[in-house]
Copies of this chain bind each other. A is one copy, B any other.
Amino acid sequence: MDREAYSGKLFIISGPSGAGKGTICKRLIEETNVELSVSMTTRSPRPGEEEGKSYFFTTMEDFQKEIEAGGLLEYASVYGNYYGTPKQKVVEKLRAGTDIVLEIDIQGALNVKEVYPQGIFIFILPPSMAELRKRITGRGSESEDAINLRLSQTLKEVSYIDKYDYCVVNGDLDEAVARVKAIVMAEHSRVSQSIYQLIEKYKEEV
């Protein structure tokens, strides 16, 4: 991805499963102008899903071509279907001044960082491992062993936090959402290209 300064910003919200990144993203999209990135997938559309809104639907062959052409910010295979983030679609939005949020696991976020280091990387943390255990246990779908494995996996994932710009502890959801919204607002106040344009305008005025 080129280093052109876009007026829109790419926020990557990431973190271990159970930390609540999905809920935070949903609130962010509902309460601000930030838009969710639309993924590309090889799976078939489900009833009610719209092309370009829910997903960009594509064939396995075309998805493979996208991978080879470097057209994806990141991608993953889930149950035999591919899911990925089309770079060009994201760039179009950013160039038009729209903020985009990507909700993604840690490995995916690290891949995005390789190709788009100027993204803003936010790590969502659970308030404690005890609380995370409670949240996962609450879902009731996993055995004790599976939960223990998940928690030690979480510890490994958390060690990548120094690759991130921000971390938000999701104890109280409202507070966590407020923090993410503050990050979005603050990042738009960074000294950047647009300020130099304002300063050029000052010069013409004096």
A interface residues (Cβ-Cβ under 8 A, vs B) = 122-123, 125, 128-130, 148, 151-152, 154-155, 158-159, 161-162, 164-169, 178-179, 181-183, 185-191, 195, 198-199, 201-203, 205-206
Majority SS of interface residues in chain A? helix
Contact B185 A129 (CB under 8 A): no
Q: Given A128-B201, A155-B202, A155-B203, are A186 and B191 neighbors across the interface (CB < 8 Å)?
A: no
Contact B206 A155 (CB under 8 A): yes
CA distance A13 to B145 in the complex (A): 53
CA distance A191 to B167 in the complex (A): 6
A134 to chain B, nearest CB (A): 12
A33 to chain B, nearest CB (A): 15
Contact A165 B185 (CB under 8 A): no
Contact A158 B191 (CB under 8 A): no
Q: How many copies does the complex hold?
A: 2
Contact B203 A186 (CB under 8 A): no
Contact B189 A182 (CB under 8 A): yes
Which of B122, B129, B187, B205 sits near A206, CB closer than 8 Å?
A: B129
Which of B129, B155, B165, B182 sits near A191, CB closer than 8 Å?
A: B165
Listed by A's residue number, 24 A-B pairs whose Cβ atoms lie within 8 Å are A122-B189, A123-B191, A125-B195, A128-B201, A129-B206, A155-B206, A158-B202, A161-B191, A161-B199, A165-B191, A166-B186, A166-B191, A167-B189, A167-B190, A168-B189, A179-B186, A179-B188, A181-B182, A182-B182, A182-B183, A182-B185, A182-B189, A183-B189, A186-B187
Residues from chain B with a CB closer than 8 A to the CB of A148 are 206
Residues from chain B with a CB closer than 8 A to the CB of A151 are 206
Residues from chain B with a CB closer than 8 A to the CB of A183 are 182, 185-186, 189
